[in-house]
Amino acid sequence: MLEKNLNVSSGALVDGCTLCLVGRKMTLFITGICPNSCYYCPVSSERMGRDVMFANERRITSVEEAVEEARKSGAMGTAITGGEPLVVVGRVAKYVAGLKHALGDSHHIHLYSGFPSLTRENAKRLYEAGLDELRFHIIATDGVENSIRVASEFDWRVGVEIPALPGLDFAEVARRAKEAGAQFMVLDEYEVNEENFFTRTPKAHQRSEALVSVPPTKILDEISRIRGILPVHYCTVKSKYLIQYRNRLVASFYARRPSGAVLLDDGSALRRVCGRIVRFVPVHGEPVYEEL
């Protein structure tokens, strides 16, 4: 089932997931600062711990640049991430309001957070700026349920999103989340990169066990347990690269409409430059060329 369909869901997909799957979400990395130290964090070394911003892969310093990238990538929405976005809540509110003003209320914006101390004042600030959806990383640190409870006082979508790490009782996490006010749950297949390749679980230091994702067969069992508690969606690494990223490249191609280019099935494109055929990735501001 996972190999065929790449994703598994029980219940309707929330808008943030729907737009992501069709490649119409821009990723807004709002800061690399984060008070948590999650041992499985995949954030790159050029961003981790640094107060920098990126819209997709583009380094930005202004709302105007974020709006420009959203238009050039064909985005119908934005996913705000970090680091921890809520440590710069004023900046988040400014960018949410700016994107909504430039791109319209239909531009869907969701935010990821593992912050345990969201105040009602700051939640109201984000709500009035136009934020549509919050996803809390409930296992990041103690007390994230407090932020879920505060956020749930407002009329937007509130859920939880966590990596599918081994050793977690996902049904218990879902129950905690629902009791705090969460309306949905997203599980992400654990993604290994150069930043966390040698990561080990806290209990594995004496057993030399590297951190791996939960097997697909076990995920199906876990989803069966969760589905009676919250609507749940499981997003695989294959989905991110074979569906989401490819669709994003296609959307970017049609938004930019590069002259003389031909779109390929994988979302990359070809065109002739100085007598050579080159291949490029449409999503970048300056296309990355590969001589053929």
User: Which tokens belong to 190?
Assistant: 């654990």
Phi, psi of 4 (to 5 degrees): -80, -45
What confidence score (pLDDT) does residue 205 get? 42
- Per-residue model confidence as pLDDT tens digits over 159-208: 999 998 888 899 999 999 999 999 999 999 876 655 555 554 555 444 33
What residues contact residue 229 under an 8 Å CB cut-off, 6+ apart?
171, 174, 175, 178, 185
| Count of domains for the chain | 2
Q: Which residues on adjacent β-strands are paired with residue 77?
A: 25, 108
| Same domain, residue pair 281 and 209 | no
Enter the pTM of the model.
0.86
* H or E stretch covering 175: helix 170-180
| Same domain, residue pair 231 and 270 | no
What confidence score (pLDDT) does residue 5 get? 59
Other CB atoms closer than 10 Å to residue 171's CB: what's the count?
19
| Same domain, residue pair 215 and 271 | no
What confidence score (pLDDT) does residue 30 get? 98
User: What Å distances lie between residue 201 and 34, 38, 43, 210, CA to CA?
Assistant: 20, 10, 17, 7
Q: What is the 3-state secondary structure (H, E, C) of 109-160?
A: EEEEECCCCCCHHHHHHHHHHCCCEEEECCCCCCCHHHHHHHHCCCCCEEEE
- Per-residue model confidence as pLDDT tens digits over 104-133: 999 999 999 999 999 999 999 999 999 999
| Same domain, residue pair 196 and 270 | no
Low-confidence ranges of the chain (pLDDT < 70): 1-5, 191-213, 284-292
Helices (H), 22-132: 63-72, 89-103, 120-129
| Same domain, residue pair 161 and 68 | yes
What confidence score (pLDDT) does residue 240 get? 82
User: Which DSSP state fits 239?
Assistant: I
How many helical (H) and strand (E) elements, i.e. helices and strands, does the chain have?
Answer: 10, 14
| Same domain, residue pair 174 and 284 | no
What confidence score (pLDDT) does residue 258 get? 84
| Same domain, residue pair 274 and 189 | no
User: What Å distances lie between residue 73 and 76, 147, 284, 289, CA to CA?
Assistant: 9, 32, 9, 18
The span from the CA of 222 to the CA of 214, in Å, is 10
What confidence score (pLDDT) does residue 217 get? 75
| Same domain, residue pair 132 and 263 | no
| Same domain, residue pair 130 and 200 | yes
| Same domain, residue pair 103 and 60 | yes
- Residue 146: which of 164, 126, 123, 112 has the closest Cα? 123
Contact between 232 and 186 under an 8 Å Cβ cutoff? The reply is yes
Instruction: Give the relative orientation of helices 144-151 and 170-180 as an angle to the nearest 10 degrees.
Output: 40
Domain containing 73 equals 2-251
Q: Assign residue 146 the CATH number of its domain.
A: 3.20.20.70
Contact between 108 and 144 under an 8 Å Cβ cutoff? The reply is no
| Same domain, residue pair 268 and 195 | no
| Same domain, residue pair 54 and 198 | yes
Cβ burial 73-85 (10 Å sphere, 16+ → b, else e): bbbbbbbbbbbbb
